[in-house]
A and B are shown apart, each in its own frame.
Chain A
């Protein structure tokens, strides 16, 4: 009664409860859920925090005891170093070119093909779609031997290009392998959700198939395309194994490789590694913070049908 303004009552009110009432189980449950989620988030973000802190410590502080969880003399030196002493500008450009080009190829082909699979009943479309989806089950790592052989000595185009080993093109071609089937699948499912009567209406209004697709359906598919693009970009940006097998110099190596290069046999340059790691992680963190709903919807469309 005298506790009208007590913190407990304020909490009750913020949980949407009448302060006069008993402490109902719903509120207790909610409070527990908040508590558990908060603990979980703190635990999983701690390593990210620690690697970030490491990246802004001078090397001497990184390797001194006792270890510090707050930087004593924060500095951006590590970031400056990796762009001056190491070709991190090249690595970043390589990563951007490879991820962007792969994404463009995948959303272009994925969109038009996904649309046809959604709308048309053509010869063998069911089994074709099945095999495209089934291709996702092939473990990419099983294919490092053939991909290495093919890129070192490309058939058909080899006469024009020579070996593609250690080129960005090799990575782009390879990355479409993971992403294109995925893109077709997400877009097919997305188009399935757009009523076919819209196509028909457009056709009655005098549009050709192409016009109906480009003018009417494509604009409606923007969220699906965005989700596909973001996922394809992230997957390509983060890829490591094929970049390890198919590249050997800064003319094609991407950021994940660059970060791993800080590990020497018996010595790891942790301060600079942390800075490089933060650069490599930046798009992921930004996409996660600002486009979370696209990532979730893309992944859900791609993994679970309906």
Chain B
């Protein structure tokens, strides 16, 4: 019965941590560390169109991406105009999508937090959009916004709100709006799930106490709910923002960055540069920029909310 029954067993027990952690670390090194290192290397290289060899070019890829070429048209003095316009698009897309879905998600989460009958059904019904393949959702919205046979034009006409067809996806601003609507549709469930979990941490007695004190609904939210919800808000916003910056699926299947370049965002630009135009060096440089921006955003969000990431 003794633990030290056999030396083999003892040896195996000693090796428990290396055997359980080792394979995962090796796997992660192969699948994450190595590609990331390769990304950094590629960002300093340029594919020579004649020899097809990758040549070391230092920081030239970054320079070409971000700054104006010599003699080229420069926006804001020194920056490359396409970099400026695509960055603006990204900020608009991410800014509107995240704030709208956050407010909507917060509202729905507060409603679902109430002790309602059939709450489980509502919860199921509201999270489904997030579980569907983004590609299918993007194409579904493209179909909704289709100008001749789409449901939105159809419904608006039937209700007598408009008489002609609105060409949603062939007008720059409207296409961006359509994209934001699709994005909000897909990702609001994520906010709802995270905030709903956070709302469970608010002690019920505090609500009662606030009620007795005659606190208004608004002050109850700010003084009771918000402090407990803050960590969840932080997580929801962080993940939402960094995932929106990298999201290609919806943009690619709905507008491909068009019409013109009016919905081109970093993700679609990166894909186009690396794959369509076959410039792996520039694509990798953009990838590095994206990586840096992601870390900067995460760091500043945690700074704003006054918490260090991953407290032990």
Contacts and interface: CB of A to CB of B under 8 A. Distances in A.
Chain A bound to chain B? yes
Interface of A: 29-30, 33-34, 36-37, 40-41, 44-48, 50-51, 54, 62-67, 69, 109-110, 112-113, 115-117, 120, 122, 126, 128, 130, 132-133, 135, 137-150, 155, 173-174, 176-177, 180-181, 184, 203, 206, 208-210, 234, 237-238, 240-241, 244-245, 255-257, 259-260, 262-263, 268, 270, 273-274, 277, 280-281, 284-285, 287-289, 292, 295-296, 299-300, 303-305
A92 to B, nearest CB: 13
A226 to B, nearest CB: 15
13 contacts: A30-B116, A50-B140, A51-B143, A67-B150, A109-B23, A133-B310, A135-B28, A144-B271, A208-B13, A277-B133, A296-B127, A299-B194, A304-B235
Given A50-B144, A180-B28, A304-B194, A256 B136 contact: yes
Nearest to A282: B132
Given A51-B140, A288-B127, A122 B21 contact: yes
Interface string B142-162: 111010111100100110000
B34 interface: yes
A67 B154 CA distance: 6
A47 B242 contact: no
A42 to B, nearest CB: 9
Contacts of B82: none
Q: Which 5 A-B pairs have the closest CB atoms?
A: A142-B287, A139-B246, A146-B38, A284-B131, A112-B20
Listed residue (B12, B28, B252, B283) with the most chain A CB atoms within 10 angstroms of its CB: B28
Listed residue (B13, B32, B34) with the most chain A CB atoms within 10 angstroms of its CB: B32
A138 B36 contact: yes
Nearest to B41: A146
Given A50-B144, A67-B150, 9 more contacts: A29-B114, A34-B116, A47-B185, A66-B158, A262-B139, A263-B253, A285-B132, A292-B127, A299-B194
Contacts of A281: 132-133, 136
B197 interface: yes
A116 B22 CA distance: 11
Nearest to B6: A208
B246 A142 contact: yes
Interface string B111-134: 110101000101111111101111
B180 interface: no
Given A149-B38, A289-B124, A54 B143 contact: yes
B305 interface: no
Contacts of A177: 31-32, 35
A128 B270 CA distance: 30
Contacts of A122: 17, 21
Interface string B229-246: 001100110010010011
Contact of B132 (A117, A238, A257): A238
A150 B34 contact: yes
Listed residue (B24, B125, B231, B298) with the most chain A CB atoms within 10 angstroms of its CB: B24
Given A109-B27, A263-B139, A288-B127, A138 B32 contact: yes
Nearest to A292: B124
A181 B28 contact: yes
Contacts of A273: 139, 143
A54 B275 CA distance: 33
A67 B150 CA distance: 8
Interface stretch (B67-75, B91-99, B218-226, B289-297): B289-297
Contacts of B39: 142-143, 145-146
Nearest to B266: A141
Contact of B35 (A47, A150, A284): A150
Contacts of A240: 133-135, 248-249, 252
